[in-house]
Amino acid sequence: MRNFPLPRPASAEAGLGDAHRRAWRRPLTLLAGLFVLLGTLITMPTVQAQDAVAIELLEALDVSSYPAKGEAITAIAESEDERARDWLSALLEGRLQRTDEGRFVIVLDNSGRDWPVADALSGEALGTMSRRDLDRIGINNALRNQLRSVIAVVDLYASDVGLRRASAERLLGEVDADLAEPLAGLIEQEEDARVRQRLTQALAIHRLEQGDILAIEHLDGSLHPRVRVALARATADSDNTELADAAQTALNNIEQTLRLNRAAETLYFGLSMGSVLMLAAIGLAITFGVMGVINMAHGELIMLGAYSTWMMQQLFPGQPGLALLLSIPVGFLVAALAGIAIERSVIQFLKGRPLETLLATFGVSLILQQLVRTAISPLNRTVVTPEWMSGSLVINDALSLTLNRMYVLGFSLLVFAGLLLIMRRTRLGLEVRAVTQNRAMARSMGIRATRVDILTFALGSGVAGLAGVALSQLTNVGPNLGQNYIIDSFMVVVFGGVGNLWGTLVAGLSLGVINQVLEPWAGAVLAKIIVLVFIILFIQKRPRGLFPQKGRAAEG
Amino acid sequence: MQWLGRPFTERSTLIFLGVLFSALVLVTVLHVAVPQGHPLYVSAYTVNLLGKYLAYALLAVAVDLVWGYLGILSLGHGAFFALGGYAMGMYLMRQIGDRGVYGHPVLPDFMVFLNWDSLPWYWQGFDMAWFAFLMVLLAPGLLALVFGFLAFRSRVTGVYLSIITQALTFALMLAFFRNEMGFGGNTGLTDFRDMLGFDLRSSDTRLGLFIATGVALALGYVLCRAIVTSKLGRVCVATRDAEARTRFLGYRVERFQLFVFVVSAMLAGLAGALYVPQVGIINPSEFAPLFSIEIVLWVALGGRATLYGAVIGALLVNYAKTVFTGVMPDAWLFALGGLFVLVTVFLPKGVAGVLAYRIRRRRRDGDLSGGKEAMA
Amino acid sequence: MSLLKSFSRRDKVFDFLVPAESPVDVRHGPILYLEDVSVSFDGFRAIDALNLTIDDGELRCIIGPNGAGKTTMMDIITGKTRPDSGKVWFGARHNLLTMNEPEIASLGIGRKFQKPTVFEALTVFENLELAMSADKRILPTLTAGMTPAIRERIGEVLETTGLTGLIHRPAGILSHGQKQWLEIGMLLMQRPRLLLVDEPVAGMTEQEMERTAELLTSLAGKQSVVVVEHDMGFVRSIARKVTVLHQGSVLAEGSMDQISSDPKVVEVYLGADVDEEVVRC
């Protein structure tokens, strides 16, 4: 069956995709290795007979000449041995080793000092061995490239779709004349559309290199960097202008799509950053709307939320996911209690003096910051991102959305929806809106404004805590965390207006996006300055923000 | 010029000027005439420190002018102070000439370091003292003019304005941190040699700067006093307390606000310019929002809308800061934060308010019509 | 120094009842003219197609239940609120919709607020000084000095308003009624062509009310006066012509007797609509 020519010791151009390929290959091959290992264990008796052949195959690897090793690799690949893939991937990763007694073993985990190993032939676990007792079978870069191609081809025959996909992925730009023919046959047989598409592209790149203009048709629209490299190379082909032109057209198409994708990525980053801004600002907007005071310690409440995430992770070591989920209520409560404390101890004595309140709460913010510096550390703390939040959602070759930002975005919108519900559907919300519009009138209607103040403040502060929890997943947690976000949050409030949640949402998201759009073009600092100037100009037109309150009540 | 003379008819101004000039003379005498080692000797270091305090006091007066009388809580006055400081710093940089580390005849060291081959256009002219001193006033004045024009025109007041001024100084801080801005980036401007031909390291120059700062404080104080005792000052107070009402009387409130804001920014710039040669460095940290809001605390502690209160507050807080950061640096932020809370909650009128209350109580028995100032 | 000259020139006609030089052109018609003015706040129509004409020298009373749009109407005339549609003219020449508050004020429209708004930190004297018609630009204000003429004029107004004894007291310590008088005094100092007076007698005693009525009627003829008032007795005592506002537009207009016998007006004041009005607040 496997009588197709395998890739020979490889081309020197393989370097481009290596880095990103390696990143996802390891878990996959490990997984595959495990399956094969399992299979081997079960089929032990039949395997026994082949051991002599197998040992011979492996022995051929343990020579000093690299070309000879290359031959041996080809031999293994063509051997139809079920363990071949396992050996080859182990060899690629330097895990195929020999004991002092000459036994071939596969190192299962080479991270520590003592390595767990398994027999390469039987798959039998041999416990741990010291690295000093083991002898690695070395390879060079050329062999590494050869191995990758070989494994890719081997995997193309695997029954597991995941393996086939991964291997097809690896073949892009690696196809040579020997591989082209069997590949065409494989494409016919392939059932999975994605594998088929990739293989077609891989083959098309090869045909393009041969000067086949029809191949471009298969490459058009693909965002894979290897495709772009191949097309770019074809445009430089001065002998064949027709081909060069066609390649250029295809390349332009791709660039166009790529720009769209980049725009989508910027938008995504902007929205996720904006959602955090919104979360940070919305508590501020609520308290400002209801009580007419700016809480300068708001940033520090965000910081407290972030630190409670860190604390929870200290309490539940090894369970970052659980800790994170728990820190949502904890962060809310911690910040809300701190908020109530601030309201009761400072703000209530400064009724009707908004500027003094601003100063006093600034003092509180200094104290809180210094408290964290003294009690915990002036240094940043890292909050672990749980596994289900790391990684990214791959949309296509050029666009992948990091999951942590996705979760933060979703979480922010959820909190927003929750706040909207509280404001619209609960008694507290009604009272808050009443006090926002006309404090004196609300009081005379029997609303206890003081109670509303406390609850509003608790709510606004709690939301700041939630913002901190969300932020802890995006940045380091440190005593200056709050300060870094407070001015941006203020800008959101100024931009969005007070007393309207939607204003804060729109303002937060749009400022986030504006920042992201400007940043690559103008640099982070200039982007901030431009945003500030924009806001100053904006309030020329709309002094009360995007969604101002109108009428008598707003004039106060 | 009747309005400029009016402050000299007030008792409070005369007392203030008397105390200030006595202090200047006293420090000078104790520094020059008393031999070193004598317990009453005032060292060059102390003179320098006091000069710094006086520059801060002038800055506080500028802030009090807009906050106390106009009701505009500027959290960005540090920016004007720093701009004045940078203008002076640029002059002092140019005075170094070829005595820098790299020995370049024109370019300051940091520009040579950045491989710049010529002076940026905005550095031109700063080798001339008169131009630089003009810029000390014009640079902050212009920024205040543009910013204030936009802000007051759209009737941004109260906390909104405070926040925007804070964002202003924050943005400027970020900008000045950049090397490409051409103001020395992180390090700022430093290593000054001399000013108007006097060696900045000699103790005589330091004494001179101290006295100059004191005189500037006196002049700034009198100017502010003249403004607040004029009819314009009363329009300011009217604006502070009932902006809409003032408009309905036919005053273009935004222009009055802009005028006073620009005057205040220029005074702040002057304070910065006097501060820089005394501390020997100007860097972007002067733009930090914390510094700007600290100035407001000085005024709040001293008592606003009195001007002399601002001076008292600036001196008190900065003395405390010097002491604290020397003894237990970690505690300073706690103390500062606590001070913010305590002053606003328990001492809304500041030290000056307490003083005035005492005086008024004593006076009330004798004289019932205590409004002579207004008639004058 | 042209300022001083202007003071000395004005000195000759220093009767505070004589209106200041105003560029308003009333030769061919009313002094104030509102046509089809509408404004709404968040969907609520505070003023709905309002038409109103005030003749030169007229004394007009405007009444109406809470939320009828009386204060909003004043806001529109003085430039505080911009209407969504309509025309507002002062005399034949000045389109008030293109001007801001200080411009309108310096044209000669003075306003007394519903809630007395005086400058509490300033003394009674200073309040009046600020209100006085003068060059209100920055530098003239900075260099303005006190002249015997100004003092005399302030003295006259103090006498008229009965505040002479309180001349150097901060306005903040005045009683509600005294603040009302101070604000009326400030209006007089402005010497406007048109006075908009919002609830002038709230918080005043019977006697003071009588004096206010006397003052307002004596002003009329030389100046135009628009009074918004709830106190029917007071309105009856001064009114020549009364306009009733309801839900943002004119419900009825005429003499006090005509108004009080108008069934529509009676219904508005006593009828079922009362509940609705309360809800709207």
Range A264-388+400-555 classified under CATH 1.10.3470: yes
Does this model's pTM top 0.95? My answer is no
- Residues in A closer than 8 angstroms to C46, CB to CB, are 551
pLDDT averaged per 10 residues in sequence order, chain A, 556 residues: 44 40 44 49 51 79 82 79 79 82 80 79 79 80 79 74 77 72 76 80 80 76 78 75 80 86 89 91 86 88 94 88 92 95 91 88 93 89 84 78 89 93 87 80 81 89 94 89 86 82 91 88 82 82 71 42
d(CA A348, CA A10): 75
Domain segments of chain A: what residues? 12-171, 193-259, 264-388+400-555
Closest chain A residue by Cα to residue C80: A555
Element (H, E) at B195: strand B194-195
Evaluate whether C170 touches C120 at the Cβ level (below 8 Å).
yes
Q: Which residues does chain C have with pLDDT short of 70?
A: 1-23, 26-28, 270-281
Say yes or no for a CB contact (<8 Å) between C281 and A441.
yes
d(CA B265, CA B81): 8
Rg of chain A on CA atoms, in Å? 31
**Distance to chain B for A434, nearest Cα, Å:** 22
Take residue A407 and report the two structure tokens written for it: 């979760």
Using an 8 Å CB-CB cutoff, list residues of chain C that contact chain A.
41-42, 44, 46, 71-72, 80, 281
Place of tokens 């700062």: B213
pLDDT value of residue B123: 93
CB-based contacts of A81, cutoff 8 Å, min separation 6: A50, A53, A54, A57
pLDDT band for position B367 (cuts 50, 70, 90): low
Evaluate whether B81 touches B275 at the Cβ level (below 8 Å).
yes
Q: Which of B77-81, B297-301, C100-104 has the lowest mean pLDDT?
A: C100-104
Place of tokens 């090397």: B179
Pick the more confident residue, C136 or B25.
Answer: B25
Q: Which of A271-275, A438-442, B176-180, B340-344 has the lowest mean pLDDT?
A: A438-442
**Distance to chain B for C273, nearest Cα, Å:** 33
3 state SS for chain C? CHHHHHHHHHHHHCCCCCCCCCCCCCCCCCCEEEEEEEEEECCEEEEEEEEEEECCCCEEEEECCCCCCHHHHHHHHCCCCCCCEEEEEECCCEEHHHCCHHHHHHHCEEEECCCCCCCCCCEHHHHHHHHCCCCCCHHHHHHCCCCHHHHHHHHHHHHHHCCHHHCCCEHHHCCHHHHHHHHHHHHHHHCCCEEEEECCCCCCCHHHHHHHHHHHHHHECCEEEEEECCCHHHHHHHCCEEEEEECCEEEEEECHHHHHCCHHHHHHHHCCHHHHHHHHC
Closest chain B residue by Cα to residue A543: B154
Closest chain C residue by Cα to residue B4: C143
pLDDT band for position B1 (cuts 50, 70, 90): low
List the subunits that have 3+ CB pairs under 8 angstroms with C: A, B
The residue type found at A246 is: A
Closest chain B residue by Cα to residue C81: B244
Evaluate whether B75 touches B262 at the Cβ level (below 8 Å).
no
pLDDT value of residue B73: 93
What is the set of domains in chain C, with CATH numbers? 2-280 (3.40.50.300)
Chain C contacts in chain B segment 188-227 (CB below 8 A): 227
d(CA B238, CA B240): 5
> Which of A293, A296, A483 should one mutate to test binding to chain B, selecting the residue with the greatest count of B CBs within 10 A?
A296
Q: Is C21 on the interface with B (CB under 8 A)?
A: no
Closest chain B residue by Cα to residue C189: B249
DSSP codes joined into one string, A201-268: HHHHHHHHHTT-TTHHHHHTT---HHHHHHHHHHHT-SS-HHHHHHHHHHHHHHHHHHHHHHHHHHHH
Evaluate whether B250 touches C106 at the Cβ level (below 8 Å).
yes
- Runs of H (alpha helix) within A43-136: 44-59, 66-77, 84-92
Q: How far is CA A484 from the centre of its chain?
A: 23
- Residues in B closer than 8 angstroms to C101, CB to CB, are 244, 247-248
d(CA A131, CA A123): 19
3 state SS for A505-554? HHHHHHHHHHHHHHHHHHCHHHHHHHHHHHHHHHHHHCCCCCCCCCCHHH
3 state DSSP class of B210: helix
Say yes or no for a CB contact (<8 Å) between B374 and C111.
no
Q: Phi/psi of residue A194, each to 5°? A: -70, -40
Residue B372 has pLDDT above 50, yes or no: no
Gap between the terminal Cα atoms of chain B: 15
**Distance to chain C for B295, nearest Cα, Å:** 24
List the subunits that have 3+ CB pairs under 8 angstroms with A: B, C
The residue type found at A444 is: S
- Residues in C closer than 8 angstroms to A555, CB to CB, are 80
Length of chain A: 556
Evaluate whether A76 touches A84 at the Cβ level (below 8 Å).
yes
pLDDT band for position B365 (cuts 50, 70, 90): low
Take residue C179 and report the two structure tokens written for it: 């603040």
Say yes or no for a CB contact (<8 Å) between A550 and C71.
no
Q: Is B251 on the interface with C (CB under 8 A)?
A: yes
pLDDT value of residue A105: 83
pLDDT value of residue B211: 96
- Rounded to two decimals, the ipTM of the complex is 0.88
Nearest to B182 by CA among B103, B104, B124: B124
Q: Is A551 on the interface with C (CB under 8 A)?
A: yes
The residue type found at C156 is: E
Q: Is B118 on the interface with C (CB under 8 A)?
A: no
d(CA A340, CA B165): 28
Q: Is B5 on the interface with C (CB under 8 A)?
A: no
pLDDT value of residue A54: 79
d(CA B215, CA B21): 8
Name the residue facing A360 among B158, B164, B344 (closest C-beta): B344
Q: Is C167 on the interface with B (CB under 8 A)?
A: yes
Say yes or no for a CB contact (<8 Å) between B3 and C145.
yes
